[in-house]
Structure 1
Amino acid sequence: MSFYDAVVPAYLLILNSLTGELTKTEAHCETKKIAPEVLLGSRLYPDMLPLTKQIQLVCDHAARGCARLTHSAVPSTPDTETSIGELKQRLANTIEYVKSFKPEQFEGGDAKDVTFPVGPERTMTLKGQQFLNAFSFPNFYFHAVTAHGILRHNGVEIGKRDFLGVS
């Protein structure tokens, strides 16, 4: 398996599944007469980030992960989304960005150094494979599953199959 095949399909699977979950969220809000903003601001616990920020971070980790692993310019996307539609558009933009990478861009990326921020004034350098396994994927999946948990906790009828994109 190529490094590209280990990275890009994994990001795309979850980005697409979150898009589907947000579509179900729109229907849930309409059926239950819930203002979507209520869910967008929901958290699993008061000190955790709200749904909107969880989705934004999923997108950031996918886009920045691909960029760093291919030594491409790291994109910066302002966090301006205030609706489910805008979050779905951010997911769509991220999906298109991730799809724009070609397998050859990842060649040797598993062994190349990746330097990334780990705080306001600190950076860390890891080999690509270690960066993917110890930083990018764990953060990406953490925020994706937290977004899923927020939606499920608030009554959106989604489950594991939705998260895995097989519903």
Structure 2
Amino acid sequence: MSFYDATVPAYLQVLGSLSGLLTKAEAHCAAKKIQPEVLLNSRLYPDMLPLSKQIQLATDFATRGCARVTHSDVPQTPDTEKTFEELRARLARTIDYVKSFKPAQFEGADTKDVTFPMGPEKTMTMKGQQFISNFSLPQFYFHAAIAHGLLRHNGVEVGKRDFLGAN
């Protein structure tokens, strides 16, 4: 399996499932007469980030993961989304961006250094494989799983198949 095949499809699968989760969440709000902001601002615990930010961070880790490991320019995406529609549009843009990478861009990237910020004044360097396996994908899956958990906690009828995008 190529480094590309171990990376890009993983991002694409879950990004697509997040879009489906948001569609179900929006339908849930309409059916239960819940203001969308209630769900979009929901948190599992007061010191955790809300649903909207979990989606934004998942897209950031997919975008930045592909960009950094291929030594491409890292796009900056402001976190301005306030609605389900805007978050799904962000997911769609992220999917298009991730799809734009070609397998050749990942050739040898697993052994190249990747330097990335670890706070406002600190950086870390890892080999590409380590960066994807130990940092980017775990962060990506963490925020995606928290988004799924938030929806399930708030009564949206979603399960593992929804998270895996196997509908």
> Residue 116 in 1 paired to residue 116 in 2?
yes
**Percent identity over the alignment?**
74
> Unaligned regions of 5+ residues in structure 1, if any?
none
Secondary structure of 1:111 counterpart: coil
The CA deviation at 1:28 is 0.4
Corresponding residue number in structure 2 for 1:39:
39
Q: Deviating runs (4+, > 3 A) in structure 1?
A: none
CA displacement, residues 54-111 of structure 1 (integer Å, 9 cap, x when unaligned): 0000000000000001000001000000000000000000000000000000000100
Corresponding residue number in structure 2 for 1:141:
141
The CA deviation at 1:26 is 1.0
Corresponding residue number in structure 2 for 1:72:
72
CA distance in 2, matches of 1:39, 1:118: 30
Secondary structure of 1:80 counterpart: coil
CA distance in 2, matches of 1:38, 1:140: 24
> Unaligned regions of 5+ residues in structure 2, if any?
none
Q: 1:50-129 alignment to 2 at 5 Å?
A: 50-129=50-129
The CA deviation at 1:33 is 0.4
Alignment size in residue pairs: 167
Query: Normalised by the size of structure 2, how large is the TM-score?
Result: 0.99
CA distance in 1, matches of 2:89, 2:118: 28
